[in-house]
Structure 1
Amino acid sequence: MPSLGTRRVNDRGHLEIGGCDTVELAERFGTPLYVFDEVLLRETCREFHAAFRKAGLRYQVAYAGKAFCTQAMCRLVEEEGLHLDVVSAGELHTALTAGFPPEKIHLHGNNKSRDELIYGLRAGIGGFVVDNFYELDLLAELAERQGKRPNILLRVTPGVEAHTHEYIQTGQQDTKFGFDLASGQAEAAVRRAQRARGVNLVGLHCHIGSQIFETEGFVLAVERMMEFYARAVNEWGASLRILNVGGGFGIRYVEEDRPLPVEAYIAAIADAVKGEALRRGVAVPEVWVEPGRRIAGPAGTTLYTVGARKEIPGVRRYIAVDGGMADNPRPIIYQARYEAVVANRAGEPVEELAAVAGKFCETGDMLIWDTPLARAVPGDILAVFGTGAYTYSMASNYNRAPRPAVVFVRDGRADVVVRRETLDDLIRLDQIPERMRKEQHPVS
């Protein structure tokens, strides 16, 4: 079991996180259960600050809420001095009701609705990352009606394809996101934004993808973006001061993954920005980044209870758990891979190769294919690592499964930050038309 954060095997041979025995957590809160190592969350936030301070740049680190967004998480990242990147009215509402300062929030999205734009304007958020001409015109119109002039960044696609799964590449030319650089759309967007009275263009944004394990893609994106940035400033008179290079900093899911230290990514980005600014005769911009997975992912572990076993002689051994694609759709969406351990026997040697199957009615509902484990039997607790990002945030009620609880653990204390859904929660929004109603009989 790889060591990370406060994770360890305790004297009982159980997996422990944040000073809490995971077997006891499962007994107390039930399974499936998302467990977050609060110390590791905070340490990673601080790594970004430290890396930028060492690089000597003006900067902003905005946590990408889409990775994992709850009120408690919003409070944590505010306490750690981060800004917040949201992509919907729901994420914005979560942040605002948690007391997150609106001026430290910016709103993303390739198809923001009129209501979402109005919500952001009325809340007085720090800015908008504008994705297309429709949004640019609509936002300018809505802002002017309210007598406001919000700061905006234009999202530009620099034509850089990160080495990652095709579903999470975003910087290439053929994508739904942003203004294309190569075709001239980005230049047209800058000129239109300069003319618009309802917005204040302050910077450019790009994002080249997720789970990136090298710096070359970021450096190339910076070179292309800074060339465009300099043209906008020097030739078109744009008052730019910010370059946002997005997120995408990789994490370790399985042994083969080799993510770089945070400092390595930031140093490469900073050196490229400084070099390009000097080369092109512009002031060094303030550099923004938007880590989400890098902060939330490694800190999360999901606990399951093992149920059925199935052996197909000469083919495969399956163990089934009480969750699956409803609480973690990443494997079925883009073949995500994970590592796991039998939490109640975490110190025992590997005895078998097993495929971890979910309980949902899809053949593809497999959490892990052929992973080495201590022999897992019904009632064991299985801990799957690296599940902090894009699990809770993408969870569903498929097969009418209640969504799991979420707990933060630290110094031997476990706090529920999202309660487990109940069966009654599942029907809370259901309505039966009057013409279909019949006498209700109590369920015994």
Structure 2
Amino acid sequence: MPGIVIVGAQWGDEGKGKATDLLGGSIDYVVKFNGGNNAGHTVVIGDQKYALHLLPSGILTPGVTPVIGNGVVVDIEVLFHELEALVARGLDVSRLVISANAHVITGYHRTLDKVTERFLGKRQIGTTGRGIGPAYADKINRVGIRMQDLFDENILRQKVEGALEQKNHLLVKVYNRRAIAVDEIVDDLLSYVDRLRPMVGDAALLLNRALDRGENVLFEGGQATMLDVDHGTYPFVTSSSATAGGASTGSGVGPTRLDRIIGIAKAYATRVGAGPFPTELHDESGEWLRSRGFEFGTTTGRPRRTGWYDAPIVRYASRVNGLTDLVLTKLDVLTGLERIPVCVAYDVDGERVDEVPVSQSDFHHAAPIYEEFPGWSEDISGARSFDDLPSAARDYVLAIEQLSGTRISVIGTGPGRDAVIERHPLIG
């Protein structure tokens, strides 16, 4: 089964980087197919911790070809900052391939992101201010800059002039900011051309040929299902397709070539940014989860909102992604709790609702209906088989597996690379 997709089954930060790394020894290519540097993966290898924002997690695995697909928006300054940091730590990054059709985040995208968010006031979405949304907006409006444009200065200048003609009016007349000079943007982008040239190519052709040869290609989603621009909690979402369908559109590989869809879910729930979050905790339990789980954004450092496991959310993610497997992470964080609540349904205006409401208004007003499960006090960080877990931990896993509608194939029992239990193989 050469085509494997990994997606977040909640609001992001579920531990997708660790799942990708777990598969690393069997994978030939790792593809980032959506998003930009607005979300991060933290991967722990031995006593080394790596925080990746734009690069695919597979860049940490020798012999794997990491690919940035056409569905990604690339901040080139961030790209080289990450590459240089990895080289300084002794890693080989020479295999990186970037799709010529990937769009570029420019200085004016970052500026617009920040001033627009401030302008929204109480209606802020909670963006990271890194220019992701404006870059995707330009892509849809057909005024975006693609990686391939950097290798033709005349085309690049024409496209930047066209984009800034409208944006400078907006910056000056609406936001009371200075106009941005065309030369400022063009000169900045051209400064990267020589270093970029060996990396940029036809990524879709590369990946399809790899699949033809029977090689294993892993498609790694940024953000998560509930932040998907179509299927998430709109408008409090990201600007790209973070569900499994985005793996095809963001890479140029057809959906019939995707054999396994793996969802990642924490044993509880977190969210960064604004938007509905039915199980959110505003008490000491929420602080306890945040402290125990080190719940601070890899990219932003922002404290994450914390809450109990929401089974309807993961069941929804299973449905819209077509999940074949779940990887449950951070089960160890729950150690020490006497009782563990799990959201099994919602109360919406006095009526029980078992699935995620299609109405945005109803979901904003949804109150969780909990079922409680016994906790455990034993240290599970050394557990390497399901039977190693305390009976209460096993019961918890089996209960949320049934509620979530997809088998739990892997369980994370600690932050280390080897702190996992494999109930069912993810590949083979």
TM-score calculated relative to the size of structure 2: 0.31
Q: Return the index of the structure with the highest Cα Rg.
A: 1
TM-score calculated relative to the size of structure 1: 0.30
